[in-house]
Amino acid sequence: MRRPAITDSFKYLKLFKHMPITDCSAYEIRQKITAGELSAPEIAAAYIRKITAANQRFNIFVHFEPEEIMNRARRASHGPLHGIPLAVKDNLCVRGEPTTCASRILSGFRPPYNSTVIDRLEQAGALLLGKTNMDEFAFGSSCETSCYGPTANPWDRRCAPGGSSGGSAAAVAARFCPLALGSDTGGSIRQPASFCGVTGFKPTYGRISRYGLIAFASSLDQIGPFARDVRDTALLMNAMCGYDPADSTCAQQPVPDYLSGLDKDIRGLRIGIPREYFPPQLDPEVNALVRAALAVLEQQGVELIDIRLPHTEYAVAVYYIIAPSEASSNLARFDGVQYGLRAAAHGVSGQSLLDMYEQTRAQGFGCEAKRRIILGTYALSSGYYDAYYLKALKVRSLISRDFEQAFAHCDCIATPTSPTTAFRLGERLNDPLAMYLSDVFTISANLAGLPALSLPCGFSRALPAGLQLLGKPFAEELLLRIGHHYQQQTSWHTQSPPEA
């Protein structure tokens, strides 16, 4: 698929009058707009200039139309996110905008409707900048399986930004936007947040409507935010959360004001430290950074206690049965009949419908997508369903029970987000097992449906590392509060990549 062109936008530079707006957080932009110091078109012009000048170096945006951005800025609603730029992962439907999941098989697809989260954010006044790169259909941990080519990590262009939401994480890190949306099926928000040195949040399964998210694994997928810091994350969460009757899995739970809860006291809270997440194979420098972050929280009055999550060792195996099984079912709809790619007959007379299906899917899906479809179809096939898929569901229940028992003794759980910092582009692309193990610390939260937050906690060899906080179902407010207190005492989240 041809990479979408980024058209010239310098005619809008006359609007760019202030110091670099792109250095501001979302909360700071909101304050400036409220004070009358900035307008939505001025903000849009600043980000158009930034993205136009630098996107080619990183390959972050795969769909970006300056004219449409300026039109959106002029008509933006005057809500709590008025004029604040937002990047959107390419698997979320935006009415009339290309939505391809970074796959050839969806080339040319423009949804006739918005995702629920897009509707809510537009109503809040957010300024949609465009679509960010991702691993094809969210199958990957490095943003390298995209039909648009890989995205580079803004901290080191030789390294991966993580995946599958690597484009959104890189967009926030590169200062292309203060806010971005991703989806997290096994760590696809938190792992790239860790690799790119930004804040990434996977809410509880059901907290945010998935309507309009092109599904990978329906029992695991969750939409969530990327931001510079926890305060910006809370600002975005306030606009995104809430029940949606269009999504049968969306929970009818009250939504707190996440911003107002950030400064509540954290003294006396108990944070569980699971030994299973600190194995000998953990990078020693990452281990030291996470331990130092825990010491900061301890100084704020929290108590650290040792806990056990004994079935953690089975999480990767369970995930790579359940997720591909659900993916093989969800991707069966992409067949060239109603939308997206339809393969030509290549001169074959009397091409049958089956021929068209086979050629379309062979040409449209990349190698990793095909691998996962095959894995999932095998696990669900007659004679193997009980041995693989059903057994995986039973172990998934044991993993959830581990967390329930742990939370009887602690308020949240702290772990590294990833066992390493960002690896080199191409380093794991031909080694699926090594790639899959990149998510070893993040997968369990999806299997159990728990909220999980990744926070920048330092640098190892000039690359960011992440601290992960996991909470009880619908305990987003508590995780954000703890994360905010941590960021009030540290400055890792304020650091910018050299090229940003």
Written in H, E and C, the secondary structure of the chain is CCCCCCCCCHHHHHHCCCCCHHHCCHHHHHHHHHCCCCCHHHHHHHHHHHHHHHHHHHCCEEECCHHHHHHHHHHCCCCCCCCCEEEEECCECCCCCCCCCCCHHHCCCCCCCCCHHHHHHHHCCCEEEEEECCCHHHCCCCCCCCCCCCCCECCECCECCCCCCHHHHHHHHCCCCCEEEEEECCCCCHHHHHHHCCEEEECCCCCCCCCCECCCCCCCCEEEEEECCHHHHHHHHHHHCCCCCCCCCCCCCCCCCCCCCCCCCCCCCEEEEEHHHCCCCCCHHHHHHHHHHHHHHHHCCCEEEEECCHHHHHHHHHHHHHHHHHHHHHHHHCCCCCCCCCCCCCCCCCCCHHHHHHHHHHHHCCHHHHHHHHHHHHHHCCCCHHHHHHHHHHHHHHHHHHHHHHCCCCCEEEEECCCCCCCECCCCCCCHHHHHHHHCCCHHHHHHCCCEEEEEEEEECCEEEEEEEEECCCCHHHHHHHHHHHHHHCCHHHCCCCCC
Annotated active-site residue 164? The verdict is yes
Q: Which of 164, 168, 328, 438 is catalytic?
A: 164
Q: Which of 89, 131, 202, 472 is flagged as catalytic?
A: 89
**188 belongs to the catalytic site:** yes
Q: Is 89 a catalytic residue?
A: yes
Which of 188, 194, 209, 454 does the annotation list as catalytic? 188
Which residues belong to the active site?
89, 164, 188
